[in-house]
Amino acid sequence: MLLVALAGATQAQEERFAQLCALCRGGAATGADRGPALVNNRRLRVRPESEIRNLMRNGSAGMPVFRVLDSEMTDLARARGR
């Protein structure tokens, strides 16, 4: 799974990614019909973590708002596109 491969995530973090992100990003975060890939995504890699957290917290035109604990959001934001 993406988080384990990219950030040494715990099983719980991997499961949270599967619950929140995999539907749109794909199980391996390589993209799906609803959202682009997170892995090898240069645009994400250069964005600061705070910007990714704000996007997750507030959503955008094509991305829903996520209601998660700050610690979970940090884990997901840090794993972006690496």
DSSP-derived secondary structure for 3-67: HHHHH---HHHHHHHHHHTHHHH-TTSS--SSS--STT-HHHHTS-HHHHHHHHHH--SSS----
Distance, in Å, from the CA atom of 1 to the CA atom of 16, rounded to the nearest integer, reads: 11
The pLDDT value given to residue 67: 85
Whether the pLDDT of residue 7 is over 60: the answer is no
Q: What's the predicted TM-score (pTM) here? A: 0.70
**Averaged pLDDT score across all residues of the chain:** 79
Domain ranges for the chain, please list them. Answer: 2-78
Check whether domain 2-78 has CATH 3.60.20.10, yes or no = no
